[in-house]
Amino acid sequence: MSFANYKSVIEQGDTVILYLSVNNMHAIKVEQRIKNKKNEMVENVFQTPYGALKVKSLIGQTFGSKVALSKGWAYVLHPTPELWTLTLPHRTQIIYTPDISIILFQLELKPGSVVLESGTGSGSLSHALIRCIKPHGHLYTFDFHAQRVEVARAEFEDHLVSEYVTVQQRDVCQTGFGPDVKGVADAVFLDLPHPWEAVPHAVEAMKEKGGRFVSFSPCIEQVQRTCEALAQQGFIELQTMECLQKELTVQTRAMSVLPLPDFSQPQHQQQPRGGGGGGVAGGERAAEGGEGGAREQCRFLTGVPPPSLPGHTGYLTAASLPPRWARTLRSPPQPLSA
């Protein structure tokens, strides 16, 4: 099993997604025996609210098939970056698929792109970046936390994508992205507490022809400082956006409306239409007497947005670095005034 290519039949060593419901999925490594807390090798049995799964029973099953649990059943799915984001072991805060989709689009990635990322964190975004740029592109991902680097590297090997990614332990704010990646990047992505400190290093890492930059920050003050640094370094087309997911619930709503005048009649003969019974597109009408003329009760099926939109994850700031020759012609911009 590889996150880069699909296959049909589950084998020993694969990572699979056990799907119990849309809100209950688990990533499982298909190993017949695992170590218990006492460090003894025991049979690998995965417990779910619908009973136990003997993990070895997955070997030979087809991805997408229904598998038996001791008190129910589940589906066993091929992993994808989206499913991995929902099931991965968290070492840090992670970026989720709605933001990831904007990041990939704004970085203008395609197969063959070279992209730099920092920090690696839990590798949620990294898996999506790899799928985008493979088979001829490369992801260089940096984190200053040694253990996170080690775990991410092991996961990339496990998921058979390590040929597309280089993981390095490095403080990119203090020491930049390093000599190996000078002038190689088509795109740079930052998910750091102080992204503005890494902006000059991003310029060094980008190709002579320039490239795209995106930074993810939860606070607007971080965005302000990053935008100042981007402007000072010659970036253009700065744009900050927020991805808010809006779920519409489908409901039948009732509304009391004054009937529309009948415009087919000359003005002095116009009567409000009423009296009920006339159907409207997608709804029903019934007449209602009362002061100010007959009103109509109109029932219609509609998508209702939530009253408020919680779920701020972060701001995404995107910018373009022009080619080097164009940058030298520009006079340095003034810093943004407070």
Q: Which is nearer to ligand SAM, 94 or 202 (CB)?
A: 94
List beta partners, residue 54: 45
> Interaction with ligand SAM in 161-220: which residues (CB under 6 A)?
171-173, 191-193
DSSP state of 296: E
Q: How far is the CB of 330 from ligand SAM (least distance, A)?
A: 28
Task: Determine the size of the site formed for ligand SAM (CB under 6 A).
Answer: 22
Instruction: State yes or no: 171 annotated in a binding site.
Output: no
Q: How far is the CB of 94 from ligand SAM (least distance, A)?
A: 4
Instruction: State yes or no: 124 annotated in a binding site.
Output: yes
List beta partners, residue 316: 216, 241
Distance in Å from the first CA to the final CA of the chain: 53
The total of other beta-carbon atoms located within 10 Å of residue 336's CB is 11
229 binds ligand SAM (CB under 6 A): no
Q: Which is nearer to ligand SAM, 44 or 113 (CB)?
A: 113
Instruction: State yes or no: 8 annotated in a binding site.
Output: no
Q: Which is nearer to ligand SAM, 80 or 93 (CB)?
A: 93
Q: Which is nearer to ligand SAM, 1 or 125 (CB)?
A: 125
List beta partners, residue 116: 140, 188
Q: Which is nearer to ligand SAM, 21 or 245 (CB)?
A: 245
How many Cα atoms occupy the beta-carbon half-sphere of 199 within 13 Å? 27
Instruction: State yes or no: 191 annotated in a binding site.
Output: yes
H runs (alpha helix) in 183-253 = 195-205, 220-232
44 binds ligand SAM (CB under 6 A): no
Q: CA nearest 183: which of 203, 153, 147, 207?
A: 207
> Interaction with ligand SAM in 120-149: which residues (CB under 6 A)?
121-125, 142-145, 148
Q: How far is the CB of 126 from ligand SAM (least distance, A)?
A: 7
> Interaction with ligand SAM in 76-105: which residues (CB under 6 A)?
92-95
Give every CB contact of residue 292 below 8 A, 6+ residues apart in sequence.
258
Instruction: State yes or no: 118 annotated in a binding site.
Output: no
Q: How far is the CB of 53 from ligand SAM (least distance, A)?
A: 27
Q: Give ∠ CA 235-239-241 in degrees, rounded to 5.
A: 145
> Tokens standing for 194?
């102080």
Q: How far is the CB of 182 from ligand SAM (least distance, A)?
A: 17
Q: How far is the CB of 108 from ligand SAM (least distance, A)?
A: 19
Instruction: State yes or no: 143 annotated in a binding site.
Output: yes
Q: How far is the CB of 143 from ligand SAM (least distance, A)?
A: 4
> Tokens standing for 223?
């965005």
Gyration radius of the chain's alpha carbons = 28
Q: Which is nearer to ligand SAM, 95 or 114 (CB)?
A: 95
314 binds ligand SAM (CB under 6 A): no
Q: What is each CA distance from 76 to 16, 72, 128, 189, 252, in whole angstroms?
A: 7, 13, 21, 33, 37
- Residue 20's Cβ-count burial label (10 Å; 0-12, 13-18, 19+) is middle
* Residues making contact with ligand SAM (CB under 6 A): 92-95, 118-119, 121-125, 142-145, 148, 171-173, 191-193
Q: Which residues make up each annotated binding site?
A: 122-125, 143, 191
Q: Which residues make up each annotated binding site for S-adenosyl-L-methionine?
A: 122-125, 143, 191
